[in-house]
Every structure is written in C-alpha cells, then in structure tokens.
Amino acid sequence: MSVSGGGRLPAALDAAMTALNASVHIDSALWREDIAGSIAHARGLARIGVLSDEEAQQIVAGLQQIAGEIERGEFHWDVDKEDVHMNIESRLTALVPAGAKLHTGRSRNDQIATDLRLWARRRAAELEQALLELAGVLLRRAEEHLDLLMPAYTHLQRAQPSRVSHHLMAWQELLWRDLGRLRDAARRLNESPLGAGAVAGSGFALDRAGVASELGFERPMRNSLDATASRDFLMELGSALAILAVHLSRIGEELVIWSTEEFGFVRLSDRFTTSSSMMPQKKNPDVAELVRGRAARVIGDAVSLLVLEKSLSFGYGRDLQEDKPPIFAAAESVLVCVRALSGAIDSMTFNAARLRAALGAGHMCATDVADQLVKLGVPFRNAHHTVGALVRRAEELGVQIDQLPRSEVRAIHPELTEELIDSMFSVEAAVERRQGIGGPARVRVQEAIADARVRWGLSE
C-alpha cells in the first residue's frame, strides 16, 4: 500500500528542480579535461579490445573535432543534456556511431572526478606561474629600493628602523610558502580516478595504469570508493587558496594604509586606482580594496567546500555537484588578484620624503638605546626601564629621544661616550647593526634577494 501525493505540481516548482539540477552552465568549464579524459579512456578501451583500433581512432578524431568546435564558440551547449559529459557524448555519438561504446567501463562518477583533478592541476600550474611573476616584481622592486629606509611597525605603531626592500621581501616569504602549499596540493591530487567506475570499480579489465600515465597522473587511485567519493583535493586546494588570499589581503591592507594622505608612503599608478563620481579629487586605491574584498569571498568558498563534504556518507552523492562553483570562483579570484597586485606593485611609486620623515619620529631608536646599555653591562630589564624613563622625559619636553639634552643622556651610564650616543641615535646605524640572519641590514637583504632568486628560479 502506498499513499501518493497526486500531481498538483505547479510549473514554478518543476522549473526550480530544473534549475537545481542543471550544471552545464558551470561544468562546461571542464570541457578540455573531459575531452582529454575521454581520449585516454578510448585508447585504453582499445588496448583491452573493447574498442577496435579504428573505433578508437574515430572517437579520438570526433572528440578533437568537438574540442575545435568549443574553442571556436561553435558548439551548442544544451541545458537539457544536463552536464558537460552528456553534451559532449551526445555530440560525439552524432559524429561517430562508435561513440555509444565510449562509456563502457566508466561512470560519470569517475569521469567527473578525473575532470576535476585535471582541472585543479592546470589551475594550480597557472597560479604557480602568476606567483612567480609577483615574486619577480617584488624582487626587482626590492633591488631598486635597497637603500630606501622605512619604519618597521608593530601594532601599526612605528617600532624600529628598517628598509623598504626588507618589507617587500617579507611579503615574498609568505608567497613562497603559498607556492609550497599549492605544489603540495597539486602533487597529492595527481592520481587518476578513471576506472573506479561508479563506486566499486569495473568488471572490464581496464588498463588503469596506462590511462593514468597518458593523462600525466602519477598513478591510478588505490581504492574505487575513495576515488569517486572523495573531494579532499578540492578542500585542500580551496584552503591553500584561502590562505594565499589572506596574504594578498594583508598586502592590500598595507597598500590602502600606505596610500592614505596621512602615511603617503606610496602612490599607486592611475591604472590601479579610480576617482569618485562625486569627489573629483579622489584617487582611491581600488586594486588593494578589491583584493581584500575578494579574499573574503575566497574564505567563503573554502568554507563551502568543507561544509559540503562534512557528513557525506560514501560513495558519490549528488551534493558534490556543488563543489564546482566555489572552487572555480576561488581559483579565478586568486589568479586575478595575484596578477592585479603584480601590476599595482610593479607600477607604484614610493615617496622617499614621506618615508624619511616617518623615520624621524616615534622614538625609533629606543630599542637601540636599550641594546647599547645592555652592551655596557646593564641587565635587559633594567635597560628597558631606563629607556622608558627617557621616553617619558622626551615627551615632557615635546621632542624625540634623540633630541634630548645630551647631558641628560650621558647621565644614564658613565661609559656612554658621545660616539656611542651618536651611533645609538642614528637610524642608518640602527638598521646596519641588525646584521643577523633575516635582519634588515643592507648586506643581509641583498643575500636574501639572491637566495630568493635561486629558490623561485628567477634569473636577475
């Protein structure tokens, strides 16, 4: 006995299901990968005798023709055929009768997993290339500005003297690790699901290893259930993209702050700013703000991917259709942000006068005074307190500590000579004293740039 609901379905509800179900407007972005996977599968089927050599050749030719049609914009994508796979297979079968045999030993479940892995590998490579360009820009600008000093900030308060190139090299370090994450993700995902079938493998003696090899995969995936139902490669890529986007957003935040009239450290090129519809004098750092904004979206995309898989039982569930919009959007957002930032940083102008002026305030030498006292034998905590007293005294007098009456300074410690005082009050000397590995001394930054050139594989 069963109790039916009757057929009172209004048209809008049917339309909603159609809208929910259709994916071709999204997954058609995978056409290159879908065709590459099908070609490899066809050749594999020929090797095990399911297709004759002639059939395989016809199928391959048909698929190549379809690729051409899509590239030239001549292909008719049909939403009624639901997804990229059915659109291409349907066209193929119209072109080549043997196309009806192509799906032998394959399921859409291993097919889409293959497409997505090929896609992810390609996008990771493009991102890697874009990161190389950005690193190249940073290294070049660091070299150009090797002698330009600036304050290092903590808590957005002036802290200690440093140099512009050291700051740019810090950005580069973050990106270097981002590159590592991308490469790790791309390496880990480079396995072939083809041959895993819908969930439990195939009854045909498919040449999984050969197909994997032809597609540039390192190996076939080791478990058919895992191969079709897992998307951790997308979660991992999404997370790597989110971390990278956070880094770009941090750079963006700095560009916004540095572009203010109050800081005035940099001036972005007109190509990366816009004016205002109401205030013609404005020169807004849009590139930097848009990068920050995109980062928010990439974080949301990464969250979508994590949430999507949470609590999914095995194997493949249709929920996984929804993995494509967030990962596609995240990859595109990050790629465009890396490139736009490359252009913005490449073309921006540093204002040496404002950078210099910023060094002359904020008691930038306080740490160096404390260090000097320590070198004269004062325990660090005591030296720290002494400098605190100097700063308070300077603020009473409305000056920076390096403008305090020398008599007051000399009174701190009997061994404090004029020469020592001059040295500890010089920002140039202060930066040069920071000679340790990873410090802002000129020679250290030069070495860091050279080392980075080698690591990134960027010739000068």
Active-site annotation, residues: 155, 276
According to CB under 8 A, which one of 73, 74, 156, 419 is a site residue for a copy of itself? 156
Contact criterion met (CB below 8 Å) for 326 and 276: no
Q: Report if residue 43 touches a copy of itself, rule: CB under 8 A.
A: no
Of 77, 79, 87, nearest to 18 (Cα)?
Answer: 79
Q: Report if residue 360 touches a copy of itself, rule: CB under 8 A.
A: no
Shortest Å, Cβ 132 to a copy of itself: 13
**Cβ nearer to a copy of itself, comparing 68 with 456:** 456
Q: Report if residue 41 touches a copy of itself, rule: CB under 8 A.
A: no
Q: Footprint of a copy of itself on residues 255-274 (CB under 8 A)? A: 256-257, 259-263, 267, 269, 271-272, 274
Q: Report if residue 1 touches a copy of itself, rule: CB under 8 A.
A: yes
**Rg from Cα positions in the chain:** 31
According to CB under 8 A, which one of 54, 78, 380, 422 is a site residue for a copy of itself? 380
Shortest Å, Cβ 67 to a copy of itself: 21
Q: Which residues have a Cβ under 8 Å from the Cβ of 385 and sit 6 or more positions away? A: none
Q: Applying CB under 8 A, which part among 15-23, 33-41, 57-65, 408-416 lies near a copy of itself? A: 15-23
Contact criterion met (CB below 8 Å) for 78 and 55: no
Beta bridge partners of 163: 149
Structure tokens at 329: 């959007």
Q: Footprint of a copy of itself on residues 129-148 (CB under 8 A)? A: 133, 141, 144-145, 148
Cα separations (Å) of 151 from 72, 161, 171, 371? 54, 5, 16, 18
CA distance 251 to 253: 5
Of 140, 61, 58, nearest to 97 (Cα)?
Answer: 58
According to CB under 8 A, which one of 91, 121, 123, 294 is a site residue for a copy of itself? 294
Shortest Å, Cβ 407 to a copy of itself: 21
According to CB under 8 A, which one of 88, 229, 327, 409 is a site residue for a copy of itself? 229
Shortest Å, Cβ 420 to a copy of itself: 13
According to CB under 8 A, which one of 24, 343, 410, 442 is a site residue for a copy of itself? 343
**Cβ nearer to a copy of itself, comparing 68 with 144:** 144
Binding mask 296-335 for a copy of itself (x = CB under 8 A): xx-xxxxxxxxxxxxxxxxxxxxxxxxx-xx--x-----x
Q: Which residues have a Cβ under 8 Å from the Cβ of 362 and sit 6 or more positions away? A: 151, 157, 158, 159, 400
- Host H or E run for residue 228: helix 224-229
Cα separations (Å) of 129 from 105, 116, 134, 216, 412? 36, 20, 9, 19, 56
